C-alpha cells in the first residue's frame, strides 16, 4: 500500500525565516494531496488541498509544490511567524478506489526565541 515519508520530524527557524517540509510518497496513483496543521491540544485543520494536475499552489504565507516525477510534495513556509508553530502533516489519497488518506508522520515546527 501507499507509504508516505515526511521530513524533517522537527524544524526550528527564526521569525521571518523560511522553511520547507517535504513528503515523498510511493503510489504513482496518488492524485489528491493535503496539508494539515495541528496546533497544541487541537484537531487537524486543513491548510491546503492539491490536485495532481496543479503543481504550484499558494496560500497565505506558504506555497505547496507538487513534483509528480519524483513523487514529492512540499510545504514552503515563507517569513515564519509565531502563529505558524504547530505540527504539520501531509496526506495523500488515490484518484480512484479507496477514499482513505495516508498520512506522513508529521513535522513539529517551532520558532527559535
Partner 1 sequence: EAAVTQSPRNKVAVTGGKVTLSCNQTNNHNNMYWYRQDTGHGLRLIHYSYGAGSTEKGDIPDGYKASRPSQENFSLILELATPSQTSVYFCASGDVGGVTEVFFGKGTRLTVV
Strand 62-67's sheet: what is its strand order? 4-7, 19-25, 72-77, 62-67, 56-59
Q: Identify which of residues 41 and 113 has a Cβ nearer to partner 1 in the complex.
A: 41
| Cβ atoms of 74 and 65 closer than 8 Å | yes
Question: Is the bond into 8 cis (omega within 30 degrees of 0)?
Answer: yes
Give contact residues for partner 1 (rule: CB under 8 A).
Answer: 1, 6, 9, 32, 34, 36, 41-46, 49-51, 89, 91, 99-101, 103-106
CB of 35 to partner 1, least distance (A): 12
Q: Identify which of residues 3 and 18 has a Cβ nearer to partner 1 in the complex.
A: 3
CB of 91 to partner 1, least distance (A): 8
Amino acid at each position: 500500500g501507499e507509504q508516505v515519508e515526511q521530513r524533517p520530524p522537527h524544524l526550528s527557524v527564526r521569525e521571518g525565516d523560511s522553511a520547507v517540509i517535504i513528503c515523498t510518497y510511493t503510489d504513482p496513483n496518488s492524485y489528491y494531496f493535503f496539508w494539515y496543521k495541528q496546533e497544541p491540544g487541537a484537531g487537524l485543520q486543513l491548510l491546503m488541498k492539491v490536485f495532481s494536475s496543479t503543481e504550484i499552489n499558494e496560500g497565505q504565507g506558504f506555497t505547496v509544490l507538487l513534483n509528480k516525477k519524483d513523487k514529492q510534495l512540499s510545504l514552503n513556509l515563507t517569513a515564519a511567524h509565531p502563529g505558524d508553530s504547530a505540527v504539520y502533516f501531509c496526506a495523500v489519497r488515490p484518484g480512484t478506489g479507496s477514499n482513505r488518506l495516508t498520512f506522513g508522520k508529521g513535522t513539529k515546527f517551532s520558532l527559535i526565541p
